[in-house]
Amino acid sequence: MPVERDDETWTYRRTDTDHQFAISCTQLLGRSKTPAAMAAIEASRHIWEPRGNTVHAALEAWLLDDIQPDQECPYYDWIRPLLEHRCWQQVTIIGIEARMFDQGHDIAGTADVLVRYADGTVGSWDLKTKQTKKSSRQDVRPQLGFATRALVDHYDLTPSRNAVIWSYPGETRVETVDADECHYAWMDAVESYLWDCRPW
């Protein structure tokens, strides 16, 4: 899609029309968090942000160019089981760090990985890194629902199921989620946003 992201401001625009989207998926979903939750997230940013960026970059390099991580690289304990997981052998990758948009609601975002299953349907996979296996896990359905909406509206594809890839040190777990369930969660989040911010 003709969409680019400004990584400093986390804003998106269409390169073919120069349209600036009103809000990103991340920003919209962040509105549902309480001030205390946001403070906790910011307080631990120095921990989760470099880990997440490093693991995401390693996955992208491997999927795009088959670049293997150095065993001495930071977060290798997260990266190795992620790249070795059998899930990658069961799908065809059709998108990596895909810029997407919900034009009707003027929202844009990024999907970590888009896949095609053996049955011909597609899905969006989102990677989340965690400090330990006991770390709390957030509800990723609305985020995956954004990609579901975009796949239907702009790619004319049929999503069946999405997945969250939970990356832990020493282990990767894949949680499958029904695409319709994700889409309903996304629309609930959008409706809440529209009610609060665009009541007209």
- Contacts (Cβ under 8 Å, ≥6 apart) of 149: 102, 183, 186, 187
Alpha-carbon 193 to chain mean position: 19
CA pair distance 147, 110, nearest whole angstrom: 8
Which of 65-74, 142-151, 188-197 is predicted with the least confidence, judged by mean pLDDT?
188-197
Helix pair angle (45-65, 35-43), 10° resolution? 70
For 171-187, letters b (16+ CB in 10 Å) and e give ebeeeebbbeebbebbb
For the segment 60-83, what is each residue's pLDDT rounded down to a tens digit? 999 999 999 999 999 999 999 999
Question: Which tokens hold the place of 86?
Answer: 């059998």
- If you average pLDDT over residues 110-118, what whole number do you get? 97
Mean pLDDT of 135-159: 93
User: Using CA atoms, how far apart are residues 117 and 148, in angstroms rounded to an integer?
Assistant: 15
Q: pTM value?
A: 0.93
Q: Which region holds residue 10: left if phi is over 0, alpha if psi is between -120 and 50, else beta? A: left
Band of the pLDDT at 198, cuts 50, 70, 90?
Answer: low
Euclidean distance between CA atoms 34 and 192, whole angstroms: 15
Q: Out of 34-38, 137-141, 143-147, 195-199, pick the least confident.
A: 195-199
Round to whole Å and give the CA distance between 182 and 171. 25
Name the pLDDT band for 100 (thresholds 50, 70, 90). very high
pLDDT at 37: 84
Strands 161-168, 122-129: pairing kind = parallel
Residue 36: which domain range?
3-197
The stretch 82-104 carries a mean pLDDT of 96
Q: Residue 199's pLDDT band (boundaries 50, 70, 90)?
A: low
CATH number at residue 177: 3.90.320
Q: What is the pLDDT of residue 111?
A: 97
Q: How many domains does the chain have?
A: 1
Residue 189 has pLDDT above 50, yes or no: yes
User: Largest alpha-carbon pair distance within the chain?
Assistant: 55
- What are the pLDDT digits (tens) for 14-69? 999 999 999 999 999 998 888 898 898 899 999 999 999 999 999 999 999 999 99
With H, G, I as helix, E, B as strand and everything else as coil, classify residue 48: helix
Q: For residue 143, what are the CA distances in angstroms to 9, 69, 86, 102, 125?
A: 19, 28, 24, 12, 10
Vertex 62 angle, CA 56 and 67, to 5°? 120
